[in-house]
Structure 1
């Protein structure tokens, strides 16, 4: 298992970005230009835009409006540059843009700029070494014990399920009290944007390997444990209040909602089309 993970991770974009950042360290302006060029090519080859938040998608569907677009992830180039060149070379404004692209805790670029600017002006120091340590996906896998790798796999598989339930909120899944509390737990940890970066519902082998490496971090195990405890406390996530039919009633409610929403959308578009023809 470890050999397979290491083989896959050596060819991952994450590892290639880290190698480019390390190569640029101490290479002056030429190294900086080369780093930005390499990162630009890698990100252009695999463009990525975060999905819109499920609550916004749900609201748009219920209002029969166009689905919102999620924020792009272009700011990550500045994080890669900070790993190789140092945070001071990149600057607070660029790093603020990079951190905002993750969407953690709903903080905007302005929020991050204020915090990072305060650190530059003599506020609490920032341990920028964390960037280098956390960017390495290969090292933790090589150092992990067999038990830790198996545990990370269990954490990843579990978080995929919880992430999927959160995403399905945007697909008009019935919002039972138990499901709502699970989403609240994820939001309390500020982790949905992070899961949205890390988790893929139907991952390729490469995506699974990268996600497993990330799930070696204690933060993800802690979130998994918190969600499992909540699920044990209230396991009736597919039970509508007052409905004794259980999951069957839950599915019937979901299907009925989807059909009603489809009919409502078709009717609204039909009325709009008819009005236009009459005016013409």
Structure 2
């Protein structure tokens, strides 16, 4: 059983007991503080990897980590787990909307409408029920068609996340890639995409990613991003107007930059 599922079980055991809820939120705060934290912004990664000058990145949509009933992604995720385990009425629809929007940026309006409709229908706990099952359980219950769609959604998110993350690993920049990253930052999707991209090669996290991609709203995010990539691809994602050559030259330039950084002995560290 994963750590998130363990927290769900703790929230379920807490129920409506104030003392039990205090115990749950304390455990959730410890879990948040124990975690690795948010990934660095690609601009900050690039500054360190290539020893480039510049100010530390402070992207739009970045969020800190919080504890019980506080702001920040950590506190919001605790609210989401509490709603799943204790019942949505213990958290409230508006707080739940904030937590869901933090978990799935870019579809805030769709999520808000779905939560408010479910609350009006008296079916909010039923709407949340799929989130109370562990990832492997959700995958086991999915049909072949649903699994195929989830894999496609995960591939789309991971691919866009890879493009976003690669800038931090020294990939040459282009006007189209720069515009794509800027839009991702405006939407607040950067951390989500990096998490998916890195989880796609981690067998311990892959099940969680695939189960999340069974959620229709996540497919909406993936479709929106694919349309965004297609729009910028028309300008040549891996092509710079002032530099001749094709993708092979682009890759050669990237490897050369990484090799130069490694030769200087500062790949991953900043000397100063």
Please indicate the TM-score interval, normalised by the length of the shorter structure.
0.5 to 0.7
- The C-alpha deviation readout for 1:145-176, integer Å capped at 9, x for no partner, is 21011110122123212101101222332221
Partner of 1:278: none
Q: Return the TM-score normalized by structure 1.
A: 0.63
CA distance in 1, matches of 2:40, 2:101: 14
Residue pair 1:14, 1:135 contacting (<8 A) in 2 also: no
Partner of 2:3: 13
Are 1:63 and 2:59 counterparts? no
Aligned partner of residue 244 in structure 2, secondary structure: coil
- 111, 136, 139: which one pairs with 2:132? 136
Q: State the 1:126 CA deviation.
A: 10
Partner of 1:34: 23
Q: State the 1:36 CA deviation.
A: 3.2
Structure 1 regions of 5+ residues with no counterpart? Answer: 1-10, 106-123, 273-280
Count of matched residue pairs: 240
For 1:86-125, what aligned pairs fall within 5 Å after superposition? Answer: 104=105
- 133, 150, 166: which one pairs with 1:152? 150
Structure 2 regions of 5+ residues with no counterpart? Answer: 66-72, 107-115
Partner of 1:194: 192
Q: State the 1:263 CA deviation.
A: 5.6
CA-atom RMSD, angstroms? 4.5
Q: State the 1:226 CA deviation.
A: 3.4
Residue pair 2:44, 2:56 contacting (<8 A) in 1 also: no
Aligned partner of residue 175 in structure 1, secondary structure: coil
Aligned partner of residue 254 in structure 2, secondary structure: helix
Residue pair 2:105, 2:189 contacting (<8 A) in 1 also: yes
Q: Return the TM-score normalized by structure 2.
A: 0.64
Residue pair 2:159, 2:197 contacting (<8 A) in 1 also: no
Are 1:48 and 2:23 counterparts? no
CA distance in 2, matches of 1:161, 1:135: 25
Q: Over alpha carbons, which structure has the higher Rg?
A: 1
CA distance in 2, matches of 1:180, 1:51: 19
Q: State the 1:253 CA deviation.
A: 3.2
Instruction: Tell me: higher relative CO, structure 1 or 2? Use CA pairs within 8 A at least 6 residues apart.
Output: 2
Residue pair 1:240, 1:250 contacting (<8 A) in 2 also: no
